[in-house]
Structure 1
């Protein structure tokens, strides 16, 4: 099946979509460092993206999609999220960085059978509820573009009137806030995901069921010791999270889900990084010095899923880009460790210095999450027969 990847970044979502069985016909990304990463990995034998086309490096607003109308099964992407991020100033529809209008334009011009878009959790905040509703209306009726100087509120009102008067829905859209940890990613990363199917495709799809859970992890840590035995951690070296102790001890039956994957799980097999970069032959696995812990800046515990990786580096307020060892000491995650927390393969090269590579990873979608959603969408498209 044919796909288009917009706002590709370092390739996390796109890799997941490719693993699900889609072949990208176009990849668009404006950031030169991300494009360097994509170009470099296209050259590598065995790379997930070796069959991708050369990325279009430039502003998506300059791309004409009309030649692909009716020829594409899936459009995917993560419109830049700064207008809705928890960090920084929030201007939403008044922010020139808001690329949702371009995502909608791509759907309008391409008319794909389905689309998958994702964005930060901040988009679901009450502050942005009106604009979230506006995004959903645009995705349902992409052909109803803004007229001339029409402002976004007037456009929203026109879409609402069309919707409530029984207008023909062009795409049936559902959205859901999902936590990547619940799908086997070793990171507590919440993203809001939008999935839409074109009119004519049987619309009986729903988001995949969660496969992993906190309770299953606690059961293996508190009830069976299976987690500790697997990692050969002696009792004296086990750090018990007091926040979860009562919950873990109260569990009576083994949960049906698989355990949340932890930082220790994700980093299994990686040697301790060194300043000279000689770290067992692993790519991008050099120690970055300077990490320190203080109140509110404590890093990610070794035996839980990581905190959400952030695009910032030294200035990340919660220490999300640091590892906190069992003895309480901290250090920065290496690029390779961060890539594993985002489910990137070990042969994937991140272009640029540590700070630049961490920015790319902090903005990425975990590969596993993209694959789970895209695989479900692909199966639905195949079964619909449309």
Structure 2
């Protein structure tokens, strides 16, 4: 199945869709360093470096199965300037144009949780309506509010009976709930062309915080299986009793911790021949940035848009010391394969990783899409043979 990938960054989402079964007709990204990383790791991909606003998407075909991407999130990020639709970096209009020009069977877009803030709620509705009726394009000199009004009137009129795309209500997924060793929440937009009998749903969570707490404080299995003493304070008897009762209801796996992700890597203070695993000095906590404890999933990795990646890109060790995550450790947290290499200095590589979608989370969502499209295609072929 053919996919077009936009705003690829270092490739987290693109690797996920590839692992799910899609073949990329093109992978577009404007950042030169990210493109260097993509070319190094996937020399056979058709990587297009440059501003997607200059592309004619239909050049990549009008028979695509999937258009995917993470439109730049700075306009909506909690760590950004929050300019949203007034920010020239808002690339959702380009994501929608790609759907309009290629008419794929499905699309998959993701963004930061900040997009779900109340102040942006109207804009989220605007995005969803545009993706539902991509051919109802914004006119010249028409404000986005005027365009929204026109879309709403179309949707509540006869157009509502003929949606161009059927869109699942956008969903926030926490990567930790899907086995990724990081508490990272992203919002996903998934839709299918109206003629596709998708019957799709988001993948169900496989892991939980409750199961991790039970493994630590009820069964003790978390500590015993790793042959370590508890590194965190034991909860109160009342809390333990509550967890013990809840353990009978928990059928999910425990959250994967930072220790689980990086424990087999040697101390980077010692020189190793492991690629991208180099010690970076200078880590220290400061208010609001206290690092990630070993025996919990990592906090959300930051891109470090203002220089050195945020103080959350540290390990807070049980003995009270701190160390920056290496590039390789950060890649583990984002579930990139160990043979995937990042170009540029530490700060640049960390920026690429901090901006990425966890590859395995992308895989799970994209695999659900791939399986549905594969099933519908099989059903079509079956009907043709029976006629």
Same fold per TM (> 0.5)? yes
Aligned to 2:182, which of 179, 187, 205? 187
1:224 and 2:219 equivalent?
yes
SS in 2 for 1:84: coil
Q: Secondary structure at the match of 2:158?
A: coil
Aligned to 1:84: 76
Secondary structure at the counterpart of residue 160 of structure 1? helix
Given the alignment of the two structures, is residue 41 of structure 1 paired with residue 33 of structure 2, yes or no? no
Matched-pair contact (CA < 8 Å) for 1:172–1:203: no
* Aligned counterpart, 2:259: 264
Which residue among 122, 132, 151 is the counterpart of 1:130?
122
Task: Give the aligned partner of residue 240 of structure 1.
Answer: 233
Shift of 1:315: 5.6
Which residue in 1 is equivalent to 2:138?
146
**1: CA distance, partners of 2:368 / 2:192:** 12
Look up the SS of the partner of 1:13 in the other structure: helix
Question: Structure 1 residues 119, 324: CA separation in 2 closer, same or farther (over 3 Å shift)?
Answer: same
Shift in CA distance, 156/69, structure 1 to aligned 2, threshold 3 Å: farther
Aligned equivalent of 2:109, options 104, 110, 117: 117
**Distance apart, 1:298 and its partner CA:** 1.3
- Corresponding residue SS for 1:355: helix
Per the alignment, residue 46 of structure 1 pairs with none
1:316 deviation in Å? 5.5
Q: Is the 8 A contact 1:21 1:375 kept in 2?
A: yes
Structure 2 CA distance for partners of 1:248 and 1:300, relative to 1, 3 Å: farther
The answer to whether the Cα contact below 8 Å between 2:309 and 2:351 also exists between their aligned partners in 1 is no
Match of 1:376 among 368, 377, 383: 368
Aligned-pair distance for 1:90?
1.3
**Misfit runs of 4+, over 3 Å:** 240-252, 313-317
Shift of 1:149: 1.2
- The answer as to whether partners of 1:216 and 1:254 remain within 8 angstroms in 2 is no
Contact between 2:39 and 2:45, CA under 8 Å: does it hold in 1?
no
In the alignment, what sits opposite 2:268? 273
Q: Secondary structure at the match of 1:176?
A: strand
Q: Per-residue deviation at 1:88?
A: 2.4
Cα distance in 2 for residues equivalent to 1:65 and 1:33: 23
Does residue 58 (structure 1) correspond to residue 50 (structure 2)? The answer is yes
- Tell me the alpha carbon deviations over residues 72-117 of structure 1, each in whole angstroms, 9 at most, x when there is no partner: 1011000001110001211111110000000000000111000100
Equivalent pair of 1:342/1:367 in contact (CA under 8 Å): yes
d(CA) in 2 for partners of 1:153 and 1:241? 53
Shift of 1:294: 3.5
Contact kept in structure 2, 1:69 and 1:112, CA below 8 Å:
no
| Residues 1:170 and 2:138 are matched in the alignment | no
Structure 2 Cα separation of the partners of residues 102 and 192 of structure 1: 18
Counterpart position of 1:3: 3
Question: Given that residues 25 and 60 in structure 2 are in contact (C-alpha distance below 8 angstroms), is that contact kept between their aligned partners in structure 1?
Answer: no
Show structure 2 runs of 5+ residues with no match. 381-387
- What is the CA–CA distance in structure 1 between the aligned matches of 2:234 and 2:79, rounded to whole Å? 27
Give the superposition deviation at 1:314.
6.6
Unaligned runs of 5+ in 1: 44-50
Aligned pairs (5 A) from 1:350-365: 350-365=342-357
- Contact 2:217/2:234 (CA < 8 Å) preserved in 1? no
RMSD of aligned residue pairs (Cα, Å)? 1.8
Note the C-alpha offset of 1:203: 3.8
User: In 1, are the aligned partners of 2:308 and 2:347 still within 8 Å (CA)?
Assistant: no
Tell me the residue number matched to 1:18. Answer: 18
